[in-house]
Amino acid sequence: MRRVFFILMVVFVTGFKPAHAETIRFIPLPMQNRETVFGQFKPMTDYLEQRLEVKIVYDYCDSYADVLERFRQSRVDLAYLGPLPYVELRATFAHAEPIVRFCESSGRAEYTCALVSFMDNVFDPQSAHHRRIALTQPFSTCSYLSTSRLMHWMGSNIEQNLYRYLKKHDEVALSVIRGDFDAGGLKTAIACKYAHMGLNIVAETLPLPGFALVGNTRTGAATDRRDP
C-alpha cells in the first residue's frame, strides 16, 4: 500500500510525465546489494512504465559519488537520494528537482541513523579510543556525518578512532557482527534487520528528512509538469 500511494503521488500530484523521451534512466543509491535495490524499486518502475507508456532503464554503480556525477553529466533522469547526497548535488547542480519524498515502513517521510555494535562486544562511545569503526560512504548521511555526531554527543571523537568506509549498509552490519569492526554507522531500519544476529543499536539520531525521488530538469524526461 505504501508503494501504491507513493506511485499515485508521483503520477497525479507532481505531474510526473516524460518530456520528449520514451526512455527514463533511473539510478538509486547503492545502499544494499544490487538485487535487493532493484527488487525494492521494480514494483514502482513497472507501474510507471505502464501508466506513462515509457521504458524505465536502471543504472547502478557502487559509489554515491559516481551516482551524483552521472546525474551532473545528465546521464540519468531520475535518482533516489538521501538528504546529504541531495545537498551535495544541489550545491553544484541546480537542475536537480525533488519530486516527492519516500515514506519509511513507519509511514513517515523521515528516518534515523544508528551507531551499532555486536551484543558480545563491549563498546562504550564515551571511552572509545583507537576502536575500529565501520562506515558506509563519505556522501552517505548515516556515515561520517551522523556517526561522528552521535559519538560527539556521547563524549567521544571519531577522529580518535580508526574508521573505514565499506560502501554498503549491509556490509557495515555484517562486518560488525563478524567482529571485523567494534562499531558501525548505518541506517536504523537496515540495522534492525540484523538484530536477530546480535547487532545492537548503541545510539540513534533524531529524525532526518526522508529519501527523495529527484528529477533532472536539464533532461526534462522526468520533470515535465502537466497543466492542471
39-80, pLDDT tens digit by residue?
A: 888 988 898 888 888 899 999 988 999 999 999 999 999 999
Residues 97-125 pLDDT 10s:
998 888 887 788 899 999 999 987 778 87
The mean-pLDDT minimum among 127-131, 183-187, 215-219 falls in 127-131
Q: Enter the C-alpha cell of residue 52.
A: 506513462
Q: Which of 112, 116, 123 is nearest to 172 (CA)?
A: 116
For residue 167, how many C-alpha atoms fall within 13 Å in the half-sphere facing its CB? 10
Percent of the chain whose predicted confidence (pLDDT) is above 70: 87
**Looking at the domain that runs over 2-108+210-216, which CATH code has it been given?**
3.40.190.10
Q: Tell me how far apart the alpha carbons of residues 100 and 210 are, in angstroms, rounded to a whole number.
A: 10
Q: What is the domain class of 113-206 according to CATH?
A: alpha beta
pTM of the predicted protein model: 0.81
The ranges assigned to domains in the chain are 2-108+210-216, 113-206
Asked if pLDDT for residue 12 goes beyond 50, the answer is no
Q: Do 2-108+210-216 and 113-206 show the same overall fold?
A: yes
